[in-house]
Amino acid sequence: MSRIGVFVCHCGENISSTVDVEKVAQTAAGFDGVAYSVDYKYMCSDPGQSLIKQAIKDHNLTGVVVSACSPRMHEPTFRKACAEAGLNGYMCEMTNLREHCSWVHERTEETTEKAIDLVRMLVEKVKNDKPLEPIKVPIFKTALVIGGGIAGIQTSLDIANCGHKVILVEKEPSIGGHMSQLSETFPTLDCSQCILTPRMVEVAQHPNITLYTYSELESLEGYIGNFKAKIRKKAKSVDHSVCTGCGDCWTKCPSKKIPSEFNAGLDNRTAIYVPFPQAVPNKPVIDKDHCTYYQKGKCRLCEKNCKPGAIHFDLEDEIIEVEVGGIVVTTGFDVKGTDFFPEYGYGKYKDVITGLQFERLASASGPTLGEIKRPSDGKVPEKIVFIACAGSRDPAKGIDYCSKICCMYTAKHAMLYQHKVHTGKSYVFYMDIRAGGKNYEEFVRRAIEEDKVNYVRGRVSTVYEKNGKLIVKGADTLMNGQPVEIEADMVVLATAGVANCGSEELAQKLHVSYDRYKFFAEAHPKLKPVETNTAGIFLAGACQAPKDIPETVGMASGAAAKVAALFSQDELKREPLIAVVNRQMPPTFSSCVGCFLCETACPYRAIEREEIKDRAGNVIKTIAKVNDGLCQGCGTCVAFCRTKSIDIQGFTNEQMYSEVMALLND
């Protein structure tokens, strides 16, 4: 015989101003099986919890119904209180009298009636509750970090420094990402390479980090604590264990006209190449798509010139499988193409370049060794125009969102230009200046006031070439929309930051969600910014949304802390509210007939097949089995099961029916 306690909360006035809580408590006292019923102002407070604990002891309660706010808010609180009083936590359930009743209705008789009905349903459910124990899952304490930009580097170092193993996978031949391409960084103008390259080296030398460059995630299986990842190590055609990185190969390579990715197409590289002199690892790979030997079957000049004999054209892609407990996705961003605003002339005029290309021009490691020279004829531009929001905040043609970093890097570009070309004139066309961040606004003011960068508030309608000059036509909206025409020598477009081209495919491999712009989606926009909706997979950096270096590094350390917290336990405890396939005595063993409709229905690939064997080892029956590490308790399999052999623990068919019957029988 059930002895259930009902505890009705006022939630200050949140519930009691609309619902007659005393009446609810009094009515519930009369329900069949209710041994105790009371109302209280703040049930979640310490005295409120004590009230529950005392009642469990005094009245020898077998179940508890707390009628208060959403279980999302306080279910763990009350379950813990019950457990402390010796009652299994899963014998405690919550009725949501706040969000489901008092907040959405006026104070009327019906509102109180609805509250009473809600309590009645839960009382019936609790009668069918069974004690449950949390599920324990072991943890494999190695982290997989996907993407070797600054986010991946920071995450890997932080996790490795906590004493855990890290596998860092980077698809390019070197780690470093976009940050390695940058010249100076805002708002301090310290050199990007100077602060980044020591960390790249640290990654390569860290005893806890295994680095796989030129590699990509092939597939992922498993669940938090127990992932199995397949990694494709693309054939480098160079044996890095033998290669000394001397450079004899790439100086002799005859394919010299391949646009350099690192220099954003401003100069060329060879087919066997190291992306940049400070690359980690500083050893080459062969780009098969452009190698004369791979394309035409002849050449092998690099092989002839390699003294250690490191070049092997017959190397093939290798797929390795690793076991990891947590994953951090740090795949970064891309720069949006420029073909959707042909009026700015990118691609048509050589001296219209993107912000990333300007970074390379301004960088000491770039094709001009840091001198600002225009691509068409190598002349130093005397007048330069920067166009902010080239694609961002443009629902008509570009993307809706603000790319966030452009205001700052445009100010930096203009500043660097003024520092390098003292007689030069620079103009920035902008919509708004978004300089939120420590020392950011001051930085922009410095560009305007000290470096005399001309900020023009308005959009550029078109850029065209005339007599060797780029004519930039725009409007100055602070001067009544007066048309402005500037004869520039060079134009720099602050193109939008967009999701990496492979992000959608990667998200699908990882089973994490992504937004409409194909950025990876965080689990909660405010309170879970580094988590994804898939347990054990975390995010850091610009793969989640465009962000600058400080924010990326902060997020990377945050994700690392999440992984470290996960790895601080030896096993994981999870809510046992998952599906189970029933088991019966022989000869049926289970009512499951092995149709495996559940297998096709399960979105988490949690259904496995279990063979039931006799003593001789002969298979008698194959039935479904739920992997309790993978199951998320969604209940899809329950709906699909034709023989009603699967139930969700804590939400069994019996419990659901008893709730419904409580309403119908009233």
Partner 1 sequence: MTLGFYPGCSLTGSSREYAESVVALCEELGIELKQIPDWNCCGATAAHNMDKELSLSLPARILALAEKDGMTEIVVPCAACYSRLSTTQYELNQDETLKAKVASIIGMPYKGSVKILNVIQMLQKYAVDKLADKIKKPFDKEVACYYGCLLVRPHEVLQFDRVEDPQTMDVLMAQVGAKPIDWAFKTECCGAGFSVSQPDIVGKLSGKIVKDAVDRGAKAIIVACPMCHSNLDMRRPAIDSYLKTKVDIPVLYVTQVIGLALGINREKLGLPRHFVPVTFA
Pairing mode, if any, of strands 272-273 and 497-499? unpaired
Nearest residue (CB) to partner 1, 459 versus 625: 459
Pairing mode, if any, of strands 333-335 and 497-499? antiparallel
Nearest residue (CB) to partner 1, 380 versus 471: 471
The amino acid sitting at 130 is K
Among 90, 223, 341, 604, which residue sits at the site for partner 1 (rule: CB under 8 A)? 341
For residue 383, give the 3-state DSSP assignment.
Answer: strand
Give the integer Cα–Cα distance in Å for 294 and 17.
78
Q: What angle do CA 498, 501, 506 make, to 5 degrees?
A: 115
The stretch among 207-215, 364-372, 464-472, 542-550 that binds partner 1 (CB under 8 A) is 464-472
464 contributes a contact to partner 1 by CB under 8 A? yes
User: Rounded to 5 degrees, what are φ and ψ at 2?
Assistant: -70, 145
Among 50, 54, 219, 462, which residue sits at the site for partner 1 (rule: CB under 8 A)? 462
Among 221, 316, 343, 504, which residue sits at the site for partner 1 (rule: CB under 8 A)? 343
397 contributes a contact to partner 1 by CB under 8 A? yes
483 contributes a contact to partner 1 by CB under 8 A? no
Give the integer Cα–Cα distance in Å for 412 and 418.
10
User: Rounded to 5 degrees, what are φ and ψ at 224?
Assistant: -45, 130
Among 298, 307, 438, 466, which residue sits at the site for partner 1 (rule: CB under 8 A)? 466
DSSP 10-64: -TTTTTTTTS-HHHHHHHHHTSTTEEEEEEES-TTSHHHHHHHHHHHHHHT-SEE
For residue 478, give the 3-state DSSP assignment.
Answer: helix
Number of residues that bind partner 1 (CB under 8 A): 12
Q: Are 590 and 645 in contact (CB under 8 A)?
A: yes
Q: How far is the CB of 342 from partner 1 (least distance, A)?
A: 4
For residue 539, give the 3-state DSSP assignment.
Answer: strand
Among 12, 198, 342, 468, which residue sits at the site for partner 1 (rule: CB under 8 A)? 342
348 contributes a contact to partner 1 by CB under 8 A? yes
Nearest residue (CB) to partner 1, 101 versus 389: 389
User: Rounded to 5 degrees, what are φ and ψ at 408?
Assistant: -75, -45
Nearest residue (CB) to partner 1, 312 versus 469: 469
Among 46, 314, 378, 396, which residue sits at the site for partner 1 (rule: CB under 8 A)? 396
Give the integer Cα–Cα distance in Å for 28 and 4.
10
17 contributes a contact to partner 1 by CB under 8 A? no
The stretch among 167-175, 218-226, 456-464, 525-533 that binds partner 1 (CB under 8 A) is 456-464
User: Rounded to 5 degrees, what are φ and ψ at 185?
Assistant: -115, 145
The H helix count followed by the E strand count for the chain is 17, 34
> Residue ranges of the alpha helices (H) in 60-162?
71-84, 109-127, 150-161
429 contributes a contact to partner 1 by CB under 8 A? no
422 contributes a contact to partner 1 by CB under 8 A? no
The stretch among 26-34, 337-345, 361-369, 498-506 that binds partner 1 (CB under 8 A) is 337-345
Nearest residue (CB) to partner 1, 462 versus 584: 462
Nearest residue (CB) to partner 1, 289 versus 339: 339
484 contributes a contact to partner 1 by CB under 8 A? no
Q: How far is the CB of 429 from partner 1 (least distance, A)?
A: 16
Contact letters for partner 1, residues 225-244 (x by CB under 8 A): --------------------
Q: How far is the CB of 485 from partner 1 (least distance, A)?
A: 10
Chain contacts with partner 1 (rule: CB under 8 A): 341-343, 348, 396-397, 461-462, 464-466, 471
